[in-house]
Structure 1
Amino acid sequence: MTKPIISEPEYEFRHRLPVQMRFSDTDMLGHVNNSVYLQFLDLAKVNYFTTVNKSEPDWREINMVVAGINIDFLSQTRFGEPLEVLTQTFSIGTKSLRLNQRVVNSATGEVKCAASTTMVCIDLRAGATEPIPGEWISLINEFEQRNVK
């Protein structure tokens, strides 16, 4: 196996979301299909931002979109394994931020996949990027208990 392109996180993950695996998440080989991991990661992203915001954000006001995602699939997952997704913001720019995420077996700690996601704040009317609101940056820093740069 080649060396993963996603580096180890520098800080502890403060957000964990247990995810329920469905039988339909598995393929003919009996393991979770690669595309399902994206669904797990998306669920955790929404829950992460809801937790950071301390309530359900108004997604019409905060227009964060995924601009890019890299995933290293490190170990296969079989039906019935207990899974959780770990999420953290590891960098914030003016108009974008990057998330680290891991899907792990919650019983053993084995990392099933590691993902790095770039999200961009956009102005839907103008169809252009816009700065991340300062309030969001403050909430992320408060949740992560550090000054994310």
Structure 2
Amino acid sequence: MYTTVIQPRMSETNGTGHISNTTLPVWFEAAREPIYCLFNPTGDMRTFPLIIVSMNVDFLRQIYFGREVEVRTWVEHIGNSSFTLYEELYQEGQLCAKGRATYVYFDYENQKSQQISQEVRRELEVHRLPTIVEESSRG
């Protein structure tokens, strides 16, 4: 699991006194930076090889200015050329939002997806979302 702490800014607070719903995708994206570095160690945006193809956010609780938030990011699925992340956002120990994002490792020069290397795949596996096994399904 990757963990990122974010301090909410006044500019992210809306007229109802809580953090705007448009802010959470930005925070989730900010928490993905360590994953971006796996695919693009130089940080050169001209060679950034990932395309986001799907993203969703479930809003569970209001989030407030002045109280830090923690974003937890796991790797949920790794395919040949794509991967899905599962993310949770906590404030004061309470789950406030969760979401998923799917990326494709993309070769812009040839305009096609490319296979994720074994080296990157091994690092992604370290941050794999644990499988939860319910008591009723155990033998």
Coarse TM-score class (shorter-chain normalised): 0.7 to 0.9
The aligned amino acid for 1:15 is Y
Question: Structure 1 21/145 Cα, relative in aligned 2: closer, same or farther at 3 Å?
Answer: closer
The question of whether the paired residues in 1 share the 8 Å contact of 2:55 and 2:101 is answered with yes
Q: How many matched pairs?
A: 128
Who is 2:109 aligned against? 125
Between the aligned partners of 2:22 and 2:15, the Cα distance in structure 1 is: 14
Identity of aligned residues (%): 23
Distance 2:63 2:77 in 1: 29
CA 1:91 to 1:120, structure 2 compared with 1: closer, same or farther past 3 Å? same
- Answering whether residue 123 of structure 2 is matched by residue 136 of structure 1, we say no
CA RMSD of aligned residues (A): 2.3
Question: In structure 1, what is the Cα distance between the partners aligned to 2:87 and 2:60?
Answer: 13
Structure 2 residue matching 1:38: 3-state secondary structure: helix
TM-score (norm 2): 0.82
Runs of 5+ unmatched residues, structure 2: 132-139
- Secondary structure, counterpart of 2:32 in structure 1: helix
Displaced runs of 4+ in structure 1, greater than 4 A?
59-62
Give the Cα separation in 1 of the matches to 2:111 and 2:63: 39
TM-score, structure 1 normalization: 0.76
Deviations, residues 52-76 of structure 1 (Å, cap 9, x unaligned): x4xx723555611211001100011
The answer to whether structure 1 residue 23 and structure 2 residue 10 are counterparts is yes
Q: Which moved more, 1:95-104 or 1:41-50?
A: 41-50
Shift of 1:145: 7.0
Contact 1:85 1:102 in 2 (8 A): yes
After superposition, residues 88-99 of structure 1 pair within 5 angstroms as: 88-99=74-85
In 2, the alpha carbon distance for the partners of 1:86 and 1:99 equals 10
Q: CA–CA distance in 2 between the matches of 1:93 and 1:63?
A: 16
Q: In the alignment, is residue 70 of structure 1 matched against residue 53 of structure 2?
A: no
Q: CA deviation at 1:144?
A: 2.5
- The structure whose Rg is larger is 2
